[in-house]
Amino acid sequence: MRSPTPGPALFVNCWVKDRKGNPISMRRVDVWHSSPEGFYEQQDPKQAPMNLRGKFVTDGEGHFSFRSVKPAGYPIPIDGPVGDLVRATGRHNFRPAHLHFLIFKEGFKTLISQIYVNDDEKLETDVQFGVTRALVGNYVRHNGRGADGRRPRRVVFIGSDFRDGAREKPSAQAANSIIFETMQNQWGFDRRHRLTCSRHGCSFPA
């Protein structure tokens, strides 16, 4: 964050792998998302330029992680022909909350994707029809306490495993496979949590 941005703290853990599950190191990753009020930095004079945007490089395990704030959904503009279409179809003009990822490495298919917030009420009615089941992450809220043991901290976790396209097959469809695994955090949670996702039929016991 480049400027103060109030909201639930968000911890993100991601791994980039090829289709065989092998980690891809030295992968360049661009991440960006809206604020908890539903604005990107160029739309909001309260935010500094390039706020809620970041660049990362995957390590030897294909891993990168970061801390931010939980994004919110937002309305798309409806003052032009798109608005006429939305009104004609009787739909609302909202997008559900999400994180954007652009992942690049020479010799691999570039992956551009979004991971949607699973508790957003607009998931099933996204005006852009961009939500698929594989792109819905499991954002998990924890009401923990700070390292001082006194001040409560509301934190949200998401873990994602990006399965990327194979080498030298640029026309192949790159697939996203999401695993739901929270990361151990600085607020005193002393073990990793394994989750069960009834939406996707995935189970990761503790």
pTM of the model: 0.73
Number of domains in the chain: 1
Residue carrying the six token digits 């006429």: 84
User: By the 8 A CB rule, do 134 and 153 touch?
Assistant: no
1 inside domain: no
At 71-125, the pLDDT tens digits run 999 999 999 999 999 999 999 999 999 999 999 988 888 889 999 999 999 999 9
CA dihedral in degrees (74, 80, 83, 84; nearest 10)? 180
At 3-54, the pLDDT tens digits run 889 888 888 888 888 888 888 899 999 999 999 999 999 999 999 999 999 9
User: By the 8 A CB rule, do 109 and 103 touch?
Assistant: no
At 54-79, the pLDDT tens digits run 999 999 999 999 999 999 999 999 99
DSSP secondary structure letters along 136-148? B---EEEEEE-TT
Q: Would you state the structure tokens that stand for residue 87, as one six-digit string?
A: 């009104």
**Burial (CB count <10 Å: 0-12, 13-18, 19+), residue 171:** exposed
2 inside domain: no
Residue carrying the six token digits 């698929």: 132
DSSP-assigned beta bridge partners for residue 202? 197
Return the CATH number at 114.
2.60.130.10
Structural domain boundaries enclosing 80: 9-203
4 inside domain: no
